[in-house]
Structure 1
Amino acid sequence: MFVLHVGPHKTATTWLQQNFHHNIKALEKAGWLYPQTGERVRVAHHDLSDDPDETLDGKSRRFRELQAIARKANDRGLNILLSSEGFRNWKPEHLLRLKEIMAPHEMRIVYCVRDPVSTFYSFWAQQVKTGSKLSFPEFCQKQFRKPIRSRLLNPLVEIDALAELEDVDLTLLLYDEIRRRNDDIFDVFVQSILGIGPLPHVDAETANERQPLEMTEFMRLILLRVGSWRDEADTNIGRVFHHMLGERTREQIVSSVGAVSEARQNMTIDREQPVFRRAERQLLARYKASMIPSPAKRLFLEGAQECAFYDAEKLQADPTVRQLLDDVVRKVRPGGLRMWVMGWSRFWLMLWRRIVKAVRL
Structure 2
Amino acid sequence: MTNANPNPLLEVDNLHVTFTTHGGTVQAVRGVSLSLKPGETLAIVGESGCGKSVTARSLMRLLPEHSSRITGGSIRFKGRELTALNERQMRELRGSEISMIFQDAMTALNPTISIGEQIMEGIVRHRKVSRSEARKQAIEILKLVGIPNPEARLKQYLHEFSGGMRQRIMIAIAVVCEPSVLIADEPTTALDVTIQAQIIELFKKLQERTGVSIIIITHDLGVVAKIADRVNVMYAGQVVESGTVDELFQHPQHPYTQGLLGSMPRLDMEKDVPLTPIPGTPPDLFAPPKGCAFAARCPYAMKVCGAYPPEPVSVSASHTAACWLQDERAQNVFQPPIKINIKSALG
Do Structure 1 and Structure 2 share a fold, with TM-score over 0.5? no
The structure that is helix-richer by fraction is 1
